[in-house]
């Protein structure tokens, strides 16, 4: 039994490595065989999955269930970062503005207070205790690199869910919907849900790579923020150290995601998005 489990892990490892190897080939390389292999692997796994591969300096791409909607978990933080840079570019916010870091927020439904319950990203981990103060620039950094839900909620309050959603749709991420912050119980009761697709994340990451997410300077800064990501146990994990991976993960109950811009030593770059839901076990994701 242990040998069988180990074999399955090796098979997944080799399959993930096959994506950059295939993209390393000639411009007419057929992705059909890779599509069949990934589809077979997903079909044999319990849960629902989406995979998107988009070559950034070429034409090859592969999409499986790319329009299926998912709870974005923390992958939506990339969109929040893009909107923060957009508003800063327009002078609507100042990245050096200092904001109070808090755990109690106002529901988008009726303004009633709710408390962010997950404590893993307490500001005590980034240099202070609640109540604590941080610049918008610091909040964007810890939102991405430490996946801080507290920082995310503070930013969503000042940026607004509607503005974040509108900006993502303007980029072409048509299924993206951010309606509330983390742990907004009243919003959940009213059926307000945050959603996105693998296609949406591919479009957002492609815009960052191409310098279209706000402008070239902002896009470059966002890319390097993603490169500083500390959660590296998904897409980056099986890849060699000389492969650059700028990624943002996501995880909630029965959901495991990762989304990345991957650059090979030969300069080939591609977006890789893997989303999952309805998982019986976290490790399967």
d(CA 114, CA 136): 22
User: pLDDT at position 199, please?
Assistant: 97
Using N-to-C axis directions, what is the helix angle for 77-89 and 216-227, rounded to 10°?
Answer: 150
Domains of the chain: 1-49 (no CATH), 72-194+213-243 (3.40.710.10)
Distance set, CA 172 to CA 122, 129, 132, 158, 165 (Å): 34, 39, 36, 23, 11
User: pLDDT at position 43, please?
Assistant: 79
Per-run averaged pLDDT (10 residues), the chain, 285 residues: 42 53 51 79 83 90 94 96 98 96 90 78 54 88 93 96 98 97 91 95 98 98 96 88 94 88 93 90 65
Query: 3-class DSSP state for residue 273?
Result: strand
User: pLDDT at position 244, please?
Assistant: 94
Q: How far is CA 146 from the centre of its chain?
A: 12
User: pLDDT at position 35, please?
Assistant: 79
* Cα Rg of the chain (Å, integer): 19
User: pLDDT at position 4, please?
Assistant: 39
pTM over 0.75: yes
Name which of 276, 269, 155 is nearest 223 in CA terms.
Answer: 269
């Amino acid at each position: 039994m242990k040998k069988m489990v180990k074999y399955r892990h090796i098979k997944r490892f080799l399959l993930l490595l096959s994506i950059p190897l295939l993209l390393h080939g000639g411009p007419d390389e057929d992705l059909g065989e890779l599509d069949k292999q990934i589809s077979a692997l997903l079909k044999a796994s319990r849960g629902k999955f989406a995979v998107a591969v988009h070559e950034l300096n070429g034409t090859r791409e592969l999409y499986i269930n790319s329009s299926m909607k998912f709870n974005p978990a923390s992958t939506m933080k990339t969109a929040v970062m893009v909107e923060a840079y957009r508003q800063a570019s327009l002078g609507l916010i100042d990245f050096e503005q200092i904001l109070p870091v808090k755990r109690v927020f106002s529901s988008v439904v009726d303004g009633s207070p709710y408390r962010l319950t997950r404590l893993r990203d307490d500001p005590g981990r980034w240099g202070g205790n609640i109540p604590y103060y941080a610049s918008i620039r610091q909040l964007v950094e810890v939102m991405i690199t430490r996946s801080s839900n507290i920082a995310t909620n503070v930013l969503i309050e000042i940026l607004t869910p509607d503005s974040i959603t509108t900006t993502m749709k303007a980029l072409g991420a048509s299924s993206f919907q951010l309606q509330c912050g983390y742990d907004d119980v009243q919003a959940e009761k009213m059926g307000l849900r945050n959603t996105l697709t693998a296609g949406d994340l591919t479009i957002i990451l492609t815009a960052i790579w191409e310098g279209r997410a706000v402008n070239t300077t902002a896009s470059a800064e966002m890319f390097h923020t993603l490169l500083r990501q500390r959660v590296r146990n998904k897409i980056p994990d099986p890849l060699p150290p000389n492969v650059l991976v700028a990624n943002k993960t996501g995880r909630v109950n029965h959901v495991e995601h990762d989304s990345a811009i991957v650059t090979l030593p030969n300069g080939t770059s591609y977006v890789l998005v893997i989303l999952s839901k309805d998982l019986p076990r976290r490790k399967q994701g």
